[in-house]
Amino acid sequence: MLNFRYHIVSLIAVFIALAVGVVLGAGPLQARISSSLSQSQAEESAIDATALADAQRIADADAQALAALAQSHLKGVLAELKVAMIALPGASAEDIAAVSDGLEYAGAEIVGQVSLSENWQAQSMATYRDTLATPLAAHLPNVPTDATSGATIAYGIVAALTSTGAETELVTQILTDDSTPILHLDNDPKGRAQALVVVGARDSAQGGAQTQSAAAPLASEEAWSGLARALSAAPKSGLMIVDAHDLTSMGAVLRSTGAQITTIDTPGAAFSVYAAAIALRDASASARAFGVEKGATQVMPELP
C-alpha cells in the first residue's frame, strides 16, 4: 500500500512541476528570457552598426585621400582626347557618370554615350548574333578573317562610334534596329570618338543561383571577348571597367583567357575612376589588369 501511495505522490509532484514550468514559461520566466535575448540582440546590433559606421568612415576617408592624390596628377593628361562611353547591361548610371567626370577632369571630351542591350550578350540570342554578323561583315572592311560573330558585331559597334560614311550608317542602322537592337545611341557621338571606355555592372557573373536571379540571362563569353578584341580598333585606345570579384565574373573570365584589353575591376569604386583616367593615356599599348579582384596584377597605374 505504501508503494502505491508513494507512486501516486510522485506522479502528483511531476504534474505539479510541469504545471509550474508551463506557467513560468508563459509568464514571468518567458518575459525574462525574451528580455535577455532582446537585450543581447540589441547589443550585438549596436556593435555591428558601430563597426559598419567605422568601416564606412575609413572608406570615405580613403576615397577622399585617393581623390586628392589622383586629381593632383590628372589635370590635362587626356587633353583633347575625344571619348565615348559604352554602358554594358546592368551598368549603373551613377558609375558611368563618375567615370565620365573623372575623364573630363583629366582633360578628355566626352562626345557621346551608348548602351548595349541584353541582345548583345545573352546566350539565348547567339543564333541571332550569328545571323546578324554576316550582313555586318559586308560593311566592315577591316574585320579580321578569324573574327567570331561576337567580335564582328563588336567591330561594328566600334565603327559606329569612331567613324563616319555611308557604310558606317548602314552598320549603325543594323545594330540599332528597333525590332531587336544590339546598340542604343543614348547620346550619339556621330563617329567622333577616338577612345572608348566600357563600364559594366557591379556583378557580371555568368550565371548560377548564387550570383544571378533566374530571370537574368546567361552572358556569352564570346560576346565579351569579341568586344575586348574589337576595342583595339579604336583610333586611340579603349579599356573596360568590369567586375571580377569571382572566377565566373566576366572581367575575371577575360583576364584568365588572355584577352588583349586593359581592364579595371570593381565598377563603382573610387580607385576605378582614377585608374581609368590614368590608364586611358596608353591603354592600347599593352593589356594590363588593374584593381583588387581576380586576375589583377596591380591596384593602380603609375601616376603621371
pTM tops 0.85, yes or no: no
d(CA 56, CA 208): 30
Q: What is the pLDDT along the chain (304 residues), one digit of tens a residue?
A: 444 444 444 544 444 444 444 444 445 545 555 666 567 666 667 677 777 776 666 666 566 656 666 666 688 899 999 999 999 999 999 999 999 999 999 999 999 999 999 999 999 999 999 999 999 999 998 899 999 999 999 999 999 999 999 999 999 999 999 999 999 999 999 999 999 999 999 998 765 433 444 455 789 999 999 999 999 999 998 999 999 999 999 999 999 999 999 999 999 999 999 999 999 988 878 899 999 999 999 999 987 7
* Cα separation values, 110 from 67, 104, 195, Å: 20, 7, 10
Q: What is the largest CA-CA distance in the chain?
A: 114
Question: What is residue 57's predicted lDDT score, i.e. its pLDDT?
Answer: 65
Instruction: Please enumerate in sequence order all residues whose Cβ is within 8 A of that of 61, keeping only pairs 6 or more positions apart, or say none.
Output: none
Question: What is residue 12's predicted lDDT score, i.e. its pLDDT?
Answer: 45
Question: What is residue 174's predicted lDDT score, i.e. its pLDDT?
Answer: 96
Phi/psi at 113 (nearest 5 deg)?
Answer: -145, 135
d(CA 164, CA 151): 20
d(CA 147, CA 243): 25
Q: What b/e string do you get for 229-258 counting C-beta neighbours within 10 Å, with b at 16 or more?
A: bbbebbebbbbbbbbbbeebbbbbbbbeee
Q: For Cα atoms 164, 234, 144, give the angle at the middle one, nearest 5 degrees.
A: 95
In the structure grid, which three cell numbers stand for residue 158, read together?
566600334
